[in-house]
Amino acid sequence: MNSDKRGSTISSTAAPELGPEYIPKHVAIIMDGNGRWAKKRLLNRIKGHEKGANTVRAIVKTCRKIGIPILTLFAFSTENWQRPKVEVAALMSILKRFLVTEQKEMMENDIRLNVIGQIERLSGEVRDALRNAMELTKNNKGLLLNLAISYGGRYEIVRAVRKIAGKVKNGIIDPDDRKDEITEDLISDHLYTRAMPDPDLLIRTSGEMRISNFLLWQIAYAEIFITDTLWPDFDSKEFIGILKDYQDRERRFGKV
């Protein structure tokens, strides 16, 4: 087994079946399948999103217990703005409610909330709720919960390029100077996820074999796990099973 930057070595009593070594430092999840979950039950898609919020609560708690330092959840993509207005409004209202109801839990569990995405496209109300939750939890150290909202991976890279170009134009960066060279690290430093390690593990629920514009740059070497389980049915037991599978994989990073 390759021990290269495999993960942190926080020991865990929460999931004894997991080796204390190689707990991933960063797990990213594409939470998909809420609509199908509802459809199967002849319910409105929105019921699926509501049920999905319960899964978020459970998985966040499990990450905290196991000692995973960073969890990034794909909650709403830039493409999801094209969904019917009522569905977008419902998703925003579920998000707003979640940000209020979970404050106590986040404080008790030492969870820091962060948002990645085009926050400027969100309504003032949602932005306020996000800002409040981030402000309240800013000193928490147990788990960094990144919510990807109005997030698109390509746009994130475009934004980084714009920021770097701006710095070159203003003379803050001189790419001809060796110390200012445009490197992979410099680009990483201009993404929403700056200062965070890349995800070790990417999970997608509901069986779709695609990335859907999520963390394009950061998942270069992530281990990918796709489960057919629909997000509202996903639970901690399955999550721990995936972590176990991750621990058994060999990460080669292009080496032999």
User: Which one of the listed residues 2, 4, 34, 80 is annotated catalytic?
Assistant: 80
Where in 55-84 is the site for ligand IPE (CB under 6 A)?
Answer: 74-77, 79-80
| Residue 212 in contact with ligand IPE, rule: CB under 6 A | yes
Q: CB-wise, 11 or 54, nearer to Mg ion?
A: 54
Q: Pick from 19, 20, 36, 221: which binds ligand IPE (CB under 6 A)?
A: 36
Got the DSSP string for the chain? Answer: ---TT--B----SS-TTS-STTB-SEEEEE---HHHHHHHTT--HHHHHHHHHHHHHHHHHHHHHHT-SEEEEEEEESGGGGS-HHHHHHHHHHHHHHHHHTHHHHHHTTEEEEEES-GGGS-HHHHHHHHHHHHHHTT--SEEEEEEEEE-HHHHHHHHHHHHHHHHHTTS--TTSGGG---HHHHHTTSTTTTSPPPSEEEESTT----TTSSTTTTTT-EEEE--S-GGG--HHHHHHHHHHHHHS---TT--
Q: CB-wise, 110 or 208, nearer to ligand IPE?
A: 208
Q: Pick from 18, 24, 25, 35: which binds ligand IPE (CB under 6 A)?
A: 35
Helix (H) or strand (E) holding 22: none
Q: Per CB under 5 A, which region of 10-18, 30-38, 187-195, 222-230 contacts Mg ion? A: 30-38
Q: Pick from 30, 32, 145, 199: which binds Mg ion (CB under 5 A)?
A: 32
The verdict on whether 128 is a catalytic residue reads no
The verdict on whether 198 is a catalytic residue reads no
User: Which one of the listed residues 2, 4, 32, 139 is annotated catalytic?
Assistant: 32
Q: CB-wise, 32 or 156, nearer to Mg ion?
A: 32
| Residue 239 in contact with ligand IPE, rule: CB under 6 A | no
Residues with a catalytic annotation lie at 32, 80
Q: Which residues bind ligand IPE (CB under 6 A)?
A: 30-36, 74-77, 79-80, 91, 206, 208, 210, 212
Q: Which residues bind Mg ion (CB under 5 A)?
A: 32
